[in-house]
Amino acid sequence: MKVNLNNAILGLDGKEIEGSNLGQLLAQILASASTKENAIKMYYWATKLYAGEEIDLDPSDLSVLKSFVESNDQLTVLAKAQILEKL
């Protein structure tokens, strides 16, 4: 599955939050995470997302990334929901 998060975060009013980017936000969270998941794969995802590129996820990777997003305490509900909708 191809995932593209190169989009602005939308505020509660449905308008883009200036200077925001879902992919870059998730990339920064992935890069700074302390996790037992595959560090090399997560680093690869982070570099691709930060650059605004798509990532290609197999079903296992998709499950890992969804779980990571859902359980991460650094992401707000506003950002989590918009990321999860695209996964």
The domains of the chain are located at: 2-86
Q: pLDDT band at 40, cuts 50/70/90?
A: very high
Name the 3-class secondary structure at 83: helix
In this prediction, residue 78 carries a pLDDT of 96
In this prediction, residue 57 carries a pLDDT of 96
∠32-34-38 over CA atoms, to 5°?
100
- The residue whose two tokens read 């990532």 is 55
Give the contacts of 2 (CB within 8 A, at least 6 positions apart). 54, 55, 56, 57
The pTM of this model reads 0.91
Q: Using CA of residue 57, residue 61, residue 67, residue 72, what is the dihedral sign?
A: negative
